[in-house]
């Protein structure tokens, strides 16, 4: 601290002439090296595993670890940290520019004044950034920070005893009781000599206030607010305690909000019987953008194997001219880093990416970790696969017999893992920043954790979408590993109670901190039973539900044309274009493209619909109607949605008595509703409003709440 030596000499001369020099600052008590770590051996982060800790790979008994920490003299407990996923094993997720709010219980014995700070940094940075934490009573503290760029981060909490504030608090209390504080004043002045590393302004305040005390003998200068603030920045912190480091993933905004349009590139030709090309896809971009979609999502675009190729409707034997399934990846023409020759060239692909960006779309690719029996890797790296006694490769069973699952635990698993990673990097180098990972439940969890971290480290802007219908806990586990978005069970949630229960589950803590659902209404693999009747109201209802319940939703091409022909008894399209080429009239009469366009426009204009976590269901008495409210804080926006779940005309009372709206930074009860489709204004009376829905016309009512 500038001037500290002068202050120390002055103090020794005037107060304690025969005292030794001021004590040195103990090693390890500055801001960058805490004296104690909660849950760690000094300097070594630990991970809890049941009743033990892992310290640098060595298992340590939890009881012993606690005793060692206590013996070291850690004064603080830092507990009940929020947000946290499985004790910090997995990362919390946020969007760049969003404020991260952290809460924790921080306490120690006695009535000393505590200081606490929230630390955060990007994983690759060396320096911590700090924000003060505020005390809210009952030892509960909070702090916030705002990461502005996508990437992987850490945050932690530090606590220490504010010795000078503790002294000041005690002296003030004694003064009020009329007690003599002359000795206390000497002790307080002595604390000033322990200040170190203060900024110039703080150092000047400390010296000035100490001089004022020494000249007047009055304790008043030592109790000045500005001195307390200066000392808070400068005093020793011998019991500084730091929590473990907690991981945080920060994504760009497209991870939270987007409308996806999935299509099969080879079916985009307008000439019957002709294989579509990437140039045909380019011609469709303006139409897809006009409907308000943000992502153009392709099924696999790689060479398709011929061995065990599937025929129409997944027939086990293909006929001459059958194109096969695009999920059987690889031929002599190449594998995961190659284009199917009939789609075009890599120059055509670059032109497609550029056209998408011109129209405000991003291109997303399916990334399937599987091969056809003709994939070059089978001959180049036979050790990456499992082989049968007759020396034939082991293929998948049943309807997927045209694909081979690599052996992710092979003797050369590092080579296999790197090969998939390098294939993804190839497409990133050609402008792709979004990947939908298909059938990834066939690969081990450690592979996905490694791949996600590696890709994010190199390209934090990349979004990985977990596109799988697996067991619910496995889907959540994959999301914890770092996938930015996940498929959901929305296609099978049709009744009101099912929707409320399921979305309630995904938007509560801790699921909302790591699971971002993408509500696809259909897909290349799925035609839900409730759409197989081809009723327009049902298509509109499911579309409105998906588009308003979640910030992310998607449709598979043909949905806008009400395509609904299914294989009897299956949730699978009849004559699925997974096994054949289709041509369509995209402006066919009876399409719902205007309805899709209107919904996407409303989503773009209302921040409340651009997120998922702020969702609350309303208690409508009509069991065939679902109602909910969504809020956005910045900018303030509250949207109320009511959707019919059956074809019949509905009339009902919508209760809004407990719904409030932000106006001028304060919450007010709703006084009116603005219909977001028609602009019609309605007044709220008696705490609600009577509504009527005719699903044949429109099964959804969308309102902006007015204060």
Q: Give one DSSP letter per residue of 122-149, joined into a string.
A: ETT-SSPEEEE-EE-STTEEEEEE---S
Q: Could you tell me the pLDDT band of residue 97, with boundaries at 50, 70 and 90?
A: very high
Average pLDDT, the chain: 89
Q: Could you tell me the pLDDT band of residue 201, with boundaries at 50, 70 and 90?
A: confident
Determine the Cα–Cα distance for residues 621 and 624; give it in Å rounded to an integer: 9
Per-residue pLDDT at 8: 52
| Co-location of 405 and 487 in the same domain | yes
| Co-location of 145 and 94 in the same domain | yes
Average pLDDT over residues 90-109: 97
Average pLDDT over residues 480-501: 97
- Give the pLDDT confidence of 341-368 residue by residue, as tens digits: 999 999 999 999 999 999 999 999 999 9
Backbone angles phi, psi at 670, to 5 degrees: -65, 130
532-538-539-543 Cα dihedral, nearest 10 degrees: -130
Q: What is the pTM of this model?
A: 0.88
User: Which of 218, 250, 282 is the last residue in one of the domains?
Assistant: 250
Residue 281 has pLDDT above 70, yes or no: yes
| Co-location of 366 and 341 in the same domain | yes
Q: Could you tell me the pLDDT band of residue 162, with boundaries at 50, 70 and 90?
A: very high
Q: Is 65 within the bounds of a domain?
A: no
Per-residue pLDDT at 62: 37
Q: Is 578 within the bounds of a domain?
A: yes
User: Which of 234, 264, 290 is the last residue in one of the domains?
Assistant: 234
Determine the Cα–Cα distance for residues 622 and 636; give it in Å rounded to an integer: 30
Strands 258-263 and 295-298: parallel
Residue ranges in 634-679 assigned as alpha helix (H)? none
Average pLDDT over residues 560-570: 97
Assign residue 354 the CATH number of its domain: 3.20.20.80
Q: Is 45 within the bounds of a domain?
A: no
Structurally, how many domains does the chain consist of?
A: 4
Assign residue 664 the CATH number of its domain: 2.60.40.1180
- Give the pLDDT confidence of 237-264 residue by residue, as tens digits: 889 999 999 999 999 999 999 999 999 9
Average pLDDT over residues 605-617: 97
Q: Is 38 within the bounds of a domain?
A: no
Residue 22 has pLDDT above 80, yes or no: no
Q: Could you tell me the pLDDT band of residue 63, with boundaries at 50, 70 and 90?
A: very low
Q: Is 47 within the bounds of a domain?
A: no
Q: Could you tell me the pLDDT band of residue 375, with boundaries at 50, 70 and 90?
A: very high
Q: What would the two tokens of residue 373 be?
A: 């029996």
Determine the Cα–Cα distance for residues 275 and 525; give it in Å rounded to an integer: 21
Q: Give one DSSP letter per residue of 308-350, joined into a string.
A: T---GGG-SSPPTT----TTSB-BTTBSTTS--GGG--HHHHH
Per-residue pLDDT at 68: 39
| Co-location of 293 and 177 in the same domain | no
Per-residue pLDDT at 33: 57
| Co-location of 157 and 169 in the same domain | no
- Give the pLDDT confidence of 333-346 residue by residue, as tens digits: 999 999 999 999 99
Residue 181: domain span:
164-234
| Co-location of 513 and 658 in the same domain | no
Average pLDDT over residues 90-95: 98
From 409, 368, 367, select the one nearest 385 (Cα to Cα). 409
Average pLDDT over residues 504-510: 97
Report, in angstroms and rounded to the nearest whole number, the Rg of the chain calculated over CA atoms. Answer: 32
Residue 41 has pLDDT above 60, yes or no: no
Determine the Cα–Cα distance for residues 360 and 535; give it in Å rounded to an integer: 32
- Residues sharing a CB contact under 8 Å with residue 347, sequence separation 6 or more, in sequence order: none
Per-residue pLDDT at 236: 84
| Co-location of 550 and 469 in the same domain | yes
| pLDDT > 90 in the chain, percent | 77
| Co-location of 572 and 475 in the same domain | yes
User: Which of 201, 221, 250 is the last residue in one of the domains?
Assistant: 250
| Co-location of 489 and 568 in the same domain | yes
Q: Is 72 within the bounds of a domain?
A: no
| Co-location of 583 and 626 in the same domain | no
Average pLDDT over residues 460-469: 94
Per-residue pLDDT at 440: 66
Candidate from 148-162, 230-244, 412-426, 557-571 with smallest mean pLDDT: 230-244
| Co-location of 515 and 653 in the same domain | no
Q: Is 31 within the bounds of a domain?
A: no
Strand-by-strand arrangement of the 258-263 sheet: 485-486, 463-467, 434-438, 362-368, 295-298, 258-263, 552-556, 518-520
| Co-location of 333 and 452 in the same domain | yes
């Amino acid at each position: 601290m500038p001037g500290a030596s002068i202050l120390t000499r002055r103090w020794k001369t005037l107060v304690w002439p025969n005292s030794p020099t001021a004590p040195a600052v103990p090693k390890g008590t500055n801001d960058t090296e805490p004296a104690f770590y909660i849950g760690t051996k000094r300097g070594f982060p630990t991970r809890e595993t049941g009743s033990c800790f892992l310290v640098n790979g060595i298992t340590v008994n939890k009881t012993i670890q606690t005793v060692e920490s206590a013996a070291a003299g850690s004064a603080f407990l830092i507990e009940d940290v929020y947000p946290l996923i499985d004790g910090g094993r997995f990362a919390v997720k946020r969007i760049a520019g969003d404020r991260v709010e952290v809460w924790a219980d921080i306490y120690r014995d006695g009535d000393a004044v505590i200081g606490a700070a929230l630390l955060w940094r990007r994983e690759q940075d060396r320096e911590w950034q700090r924000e003060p934490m505020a005390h809210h009573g009952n030892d509960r503290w909070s702090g916030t920070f705002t990461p502005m760029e996508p990437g992987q981060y850490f945050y932690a909490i530090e606590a220490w005893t504010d010795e000078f504030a503790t002294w000041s608090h005690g002296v003030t209390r004694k003064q009020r009781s009329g007690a003599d504080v002359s000795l206390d004043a000497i002790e307080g002045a002595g604390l000033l000599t322990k200040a170190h590393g203060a900024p110039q302004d703080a150092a000047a305040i400390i010296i000035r206030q100490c001089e004022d005390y020494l000249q007047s003998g009055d304790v008043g200068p030592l109790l000045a607010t500005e001195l307390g603030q200066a000392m808070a920045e400068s005093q020793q912190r011998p019991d500084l305690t730091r929590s473990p480091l907690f991981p945080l993933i920060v994504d760009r905004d497209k991870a939270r909000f987007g409308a996806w349009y999935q299509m099969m590139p080879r079916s985009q030709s307008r000439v019957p019987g002709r294989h579509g090309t990437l140039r045909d896809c380019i011609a469709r971009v303006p139409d897809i953008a006009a409907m308000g979609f943000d992502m153009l999502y392709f099924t696999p675009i790689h060479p398709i194997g011929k061995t065990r190729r599937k025929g129409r409707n997944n027939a086990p034997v293909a006929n001459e001219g059958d194109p096969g399934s695009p999920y059987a990846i690889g031929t002599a023409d190449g594998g995961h880093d190659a284009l199917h020759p009939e789609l075009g060239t890599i120059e055509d692909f670059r032109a497609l990416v550029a056209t998408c960006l011109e129209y405000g779309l991003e291109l997303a690719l399916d990334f399937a970790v599987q091969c056809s029996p003709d994939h070059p890797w089978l001959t180049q790296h036979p050790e990456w696969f499992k082989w049968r006694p007759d020396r034939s490769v082991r293929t998948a069973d049943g309807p997927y017999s045209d694909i081979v699952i690599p052996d992710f635990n092979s003797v050369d698993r590092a080579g296999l893992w790197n090969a998939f990673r390098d294939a993804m990097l190839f497409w990133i180098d050609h402008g792709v920043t979004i990947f939908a990972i298909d059938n990834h439940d066939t690969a081990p969890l450690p592979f996905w954790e490694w791949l996600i971290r590696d890709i994010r480290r190199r390209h934090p802007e990349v979004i990985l979408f977990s596109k799988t219908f697996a067991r619910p806990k496995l889907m959540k586990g994959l999301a914890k590993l770092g996938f930015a978005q996940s498929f959901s069970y929305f296609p099978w949630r049709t009744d009101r109670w099912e929707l409320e229960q399921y979305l309630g589950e995904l938007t509560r803590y801790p699921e909302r901190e790591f699971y971002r659902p993408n509500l696809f209404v259909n897909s290349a693999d799925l035609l839900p039973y409730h759409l197989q009747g081809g009723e327009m109201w049902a298509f509109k209802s499911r579309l409105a539900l998906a588009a308003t319940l979640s910030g992310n939703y998607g449709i598979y091409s043909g949905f806008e044309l009400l395509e609904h022909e299914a294989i009897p008894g299956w949730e699978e399209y009849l004559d699925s274009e997974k096994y054949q080429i289709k041509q369509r009239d995209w402006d066919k009469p009876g399409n719902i493209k205007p309805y899709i366009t209107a919904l996407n426009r409303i989503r773009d204009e209302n921040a409340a619909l651009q997120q998922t976590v702020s969702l609350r269901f309303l208690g409508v008495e009509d069991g065939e109607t679902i109602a909910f409210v969504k809020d956005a804080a910045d900018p303030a926006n509250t949207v109320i949605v009511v959707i019919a779940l059956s074809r019949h005309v509905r009339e009902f009372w919508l209760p809004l008595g407990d719904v409030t709206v932000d106006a001028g930074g304060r919450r007010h009860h709703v006084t009116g509703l603005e219909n977001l489709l028609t602009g019609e204004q309605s007044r709220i009376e008696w705490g609600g409003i009577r509504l009527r829905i005719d699903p044949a016309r429109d099964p959804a009512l969308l309102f902006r709440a007015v204060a």
